[in-house]
Chains A and B, each alone.
Chain A
Amino acid sequence: MYKLLLCLRYLRTRWIALASIVSVTLGVATLIVVNSVMDGFTTQMKERMHGILSDIVLETRSNTGIAQPNWYEERIRNRLGDSVAGVTTVVTLPAMMTFQHNGNSHTQQVNLIGIDQKTYASVSDFSKYLLHPENRDQLDFLLKEGGYAPDRERMQPSGWEYRRPIARYRKLVNDRVRDGRTAEEEQAAEKSRYEALQQQIQREQLQSNTAVTESQSTNADSTDPSAPANSTTPAAPSTPDDAATQTDSSVNSLMAGPGIVIPNKAQQVLQFDPEKEQRTGIVLGISLGSIRGREPDGTVQDFFFLRPGDDVQVTFPNAGTPPRGIDETFTVVDFYESKMSEYDSTFAFVPIEKLQHSRGMIDPRSGIGAVTSIQIKLKPGVDLNTARDALRDEFPPTHEFVEVRSWQETQGPLLAAVQLETTILNILLFMIIAVAGFGILATFFMIVVEKTRDIGILKSLGATGTGIATIFLGYGVLLGTVGAGVGLLCGLLFVWKINDIARVVEWITGREVFDPTVYYFDTIPTIIHPFMLCWVTLGAILIAVLASVLPSIRAARMHPVEALRYE
């Protein structure tokens, strides 16, 4: 009873001890904030990564890929049975993407991914990261009329709405020559020039026919080495008409004369018309086609230098040995925004058939296309590692040259780095609390010394050593609880209002605390785990109690007489 009373009284009269507990409060609050934010980041990131990556990937490094994907798929389904939610085949390639912007050619490295658009969405959250609502339902690699992310001002217009006028404009620009004449005028001019040239040639030939000997003699006189060539020269005049008609017809077929009309029409039929046609569709990671920046008023925006409707050239290796680069032109049909910068800045999705076809991965006899990886989605609740181990057993590295990896292993280093960061931060912050613990230790020793006489008095009144130790231990528990409790409240409050706080700090310092151009989140993500709150709070209390153990023991051991004599 007296213990409780004295504890409370000490707490009320010893504010200095409360000061020593402030560091515990700060430590606890910081730990809670840091853990909540780190957890928020990690969870968001994991969620996204898991969404982007399928659960398990079977991958080969072979350039030609797995030749019998159906057989593999069958084995996977046999092995995993009911736990498979979806399987898809994929061809992934390192590639180089080139596009023109502002008259400059830009080249970027991409991860070219050939996907089966019918099944790919079943193994990952691919579709939900696409911008066009129809593509989110089902991607068909066809350019849409418009309606790409209408909330993004900087992206409008997109799709055909964008491609048509651009193509028309390009054609206009291409058709226009430097002095401002149109193509028809130019063609007419060219034609008349050519005709003039023809007439001149004919005239010259007539002249040379009459003066052939003369010219031959001069030729032979002037240049000796040209003499053997002269043996053919007489043959040429033998069929002057032939040559003339030959040239004439060839010229006609190209551009001259009235014959120009027919081939031109045929050309129009065969020629690719960007106003009405698109190339094979490609879905680009959004950072491949945009940069994040700020409007003059400070709002964060993506600025697009590529839009749905633009054409890009992609160069990738074919399946030959040694591989050779092949070019293909694709039309951007959508963007992919997973908000994971690593993916958004490298991924480019194209139809798998296109890749298999251009790379020569299709078996000419069976017509089956090879793939470089098979992605598997498990049903919810199925243990990832068990399924992975089963597949590793099914496809042992000793027999098959495929690698079986779970999504966590694929992103293992990144996840491990984040985990390590969190752990280290926790250790460091707990060290702060431990430092606070030493502060408490020192303060408590001082209080015990200060209270020496009181301890003697209590002993003379019959208090036991344990009773006196309990006073100081209880004091430590009380202080620890108060400190950790206040820290807990502060931490929760901070986490709850973290975005407001960030804004206030921004306003005061004029500097952005949380730059959305960097992080892709517009608000700081936080997650509060009750378990984390528990261990942080209890840990802090424990440290405070541990710090008060030594002074308590000292108080308990104090000799009553010496304590009473203490002045």
Chain B
Amino acid sequence: MNNSDSLRHPPIPAPHMLDTKPSVPYRVVHPEESEQRRTTHSGLPSVANPMLTATGLAKAYRKHQSSVPVLKGVDFSAERGKVTAIIGQSGSGKSTLLHLLGTLDRPDEGEIAFDGQRIDCLPSRQRDQFRNNQLGMIFQFYHLLPELTLLENVLAPAMIGNGILSYWRNRRQIVERAKHLIELVGLSHRMKHRPRELSGGEMQRTAIARALVTNPSLLLADEPTGNLDQETGRTILQLLRVLNREHGLTIVMVTHDESIAQQCDSIVRLKDGRVERLTAPILRTTSV
């Protein structure tokens, strides 16, 4: 990726959020954060500057009489400006946890707080708004809308967040930002293409651009490299790392790949519906 120049540009704030959204200065990296990084891998759930915290999360899938408990009291915390990995075997409830954190589902028990405010018990409309404004999500299967072009896919969250009128009024800024993000992920030349005309890596990069178009403070990634070959996966991870470093984006990433997890700032290990242990990455130095 040789577009590091563009990465240095400060992200253009989405215009519609300038006054509505509580400013989350994810690109402002606090000087003390680098200090804290060393003290947070103590395995304690309490971190100095958490953006997202969850306590005692429980979730069971019920069908008729039987109930499948997936999460049985999970404590979780993602530090502002850091990359947190959630790791565990397949079926250990990683995606379930991520969906709960992303307010796509409600926990049976426990609390989730974003910036100190509970988000798990918000009315659905506000949760929709929260997802649109504060969260970006990327998935293993990219989940792009097949009918829309790359540019339209990236614009979709901005369209959803704005009414027709406000979208129309701000369309130039919004489109400019979308194009900037597409440039950032290196797909400027594929703007008019449909997702099925793109490769997996390109689709995932599109998904990343889409996730960032509303200028969120938190990115939730569910096995973003799970469906990609190693080389492509590495460029995606690199892109995420750049976003984290240069723009201070907080990332929570689900993976089942130990080596990927090791590159993150902290790791949450799930097993049998509980957090096994909270560890700091061993291979700190081998980061990209």
B160 touches A460 (CB 8 A): no
A6 to B146, CA, bound (A): 10
Q: Identify which of residues 141-155 in chain B touch chain A, using a CB-to-CB cut-off of 8 Å.
A: 143-148, 152
**Mask for B90-133, Cβ within 8 A of A = 1, else 0?**
00000010010010110000000000000000001100111111
Contact partner, B137, options A2, A460, A464, A559, Cβ 8 Å:
A460
Secondary structure at chain B's binding surface: helix, strand, loop or mixed? helix
Cβ of B159 < 8 Å from any Cβ of A? yes
Cβ of B156 < 8 Å from any Cβ of A? yes
A9 to B128, CA, bound (A): 23
B128 touches A464 (CB 8 A): yes
Cβ of A461 < 8 Å from any Cβ of B? yes
Count residues of chain A with CB under 8 A from any CB of chain B: 25
Cβ of A10 < 8 Å from any Cβ of B? yes
A460 touches B161 (CB 8 A): no
B139 touches A6 (CB 8 A): no
Q: Identify which of residues 446-472 in chain A touch chain B, using a CB-to-CB cut-off of 8 Å.
A: 453-454, 456-465, 467
Cβ of A416 < 8 Å from any Cβ of B? no
B160 touches A4 (CB 8 A): no
Contact partner, A461, options B96, B146, B156, B167, Cβ 8 Å:
B156
Chain B residues lying within 8 Å of A462, measured Cβ to Cβ, are 128-133, 135, 157, 160-161, 214
Secondary structure at chain A's binding surface: helix, strand, loop or mixed? helix
A10 to B139, CA, bound (A): 23
Cβ of A13 < 8 Å from any Cβ of B? yes
A461 touches B160 (CB 8 A): yes
A551 to B133, CA, bound (A): 28
Most chain A CB inside 10 Å of its own CB: which residue of B125, B128, B137, B210: B128
Cβ of A1 < 8 Å from any Cβ of B? yes
Cβ of A491 < 8 Å from any Cβ of B? no
Cβ of B1 < 8 Å from any Cβ of A? no
Chain A residues lying within 8 Å of B168, measured Cβ to Cβ, are 1
A459-B128, A461-B131, A462-B157 are known contacts. Are A4 and B164 too (CB-CB below 8 A)?
yes
Chain A residues lying within 8 Å of B156, measured Cβ to Cβ, are 2, 458, 461
Closest CB in chain A relative to B195 CB, distance in Å = 11
A460 touches B131 (CB 8 A): yes
B129 touches A564 (CB 8 A): no
B143 touches A456 (CB 8 A): yes
A454-B145, A456-B143, A561-B104 are known contacts. Are A461 and B157 too (CB-CB below 8 A)?
yes
Chain B residues lying within 8 Å of A4, measured Cβ to Cβ, are 164
B128 touches A1 (CB 8 A): no
B146 touches A454 (CB 8 A): yes
Cβ of B163 < 8 Å from any Cβ of A? yes
A460 touches B164 (CB 8 A): no
Cβ of B173 < 8 Å from any Cβ of A? no
Cβ of B232 < 8 Å from any Cβ of A? no
B104 touches A564 (CB 8 A): yes
A325 to B88, CA, bound (A): 113
B145 touches A1 (CB 8 A): no
Cβ of B40 < 8 Å from any Cβ of A? no
Most chain B CB inside 10 Å of its own CB: which residue of A1, A4, A13: A1
Contact partner, A6, options B130, B132, B144, B147, Cβ 8 Å:
B147
Cβ of A351 < 8 Å from any Cβ of B? no
Cβ of A5 < 8 Å from any Cβ of B? yes
A561 touches B160 (CB 8 A): no
Closest CB in chain A relative to B103 CB, distance in Å = 9
Chain B residues lying within 8 Å of A2, measured Cβ to Cβ, are 156, 159-160
Q: List 29 A-B contacts (CB under 8 A).
A: A1-B160, A1-B167, A2-B160, A5-B152, A6-B145, A6-B147, A6-B148, A10-B147, A459-B104, A460-B102, A460-B131, A461-B131, A461-B132, A461-B157, A461-B160, A461-B210, A462-B131, A462-B160, A462-B214, A463-B128, A463-B132, A464-B125, A467-B160, A559-B105, A561-B96, A561-B99, A561-B105, A564-B139, A564-B143
> Lowest 8 CB-CB distances: which A-B pairs, in order?
A462-B132, A9-B147, A2-B159, A1-B159, A462-B131, A560-B104, A457-B143, A1-B167
Q: Contact residues of A with B, CB < 8 Å?
A: 1-2, 4-6, 9-10, 13, 453-454, 456-465, 467, 559-561, 564
Contacts A5-B159, A461-B210 supplied; 6 other A-B pairs, CB < 8 Å: A1-B163, A1-B168, A454-B147, A458-B145, A461-B131, A463-B160
Q: Contact residues of B with A, CB < 8 Å?
A: 96, 99, 102, 104-105, 124-125, 128-133, 135, 137, 139, 143-148, 152, 156-157, 159-164, 167-168, 210, 214
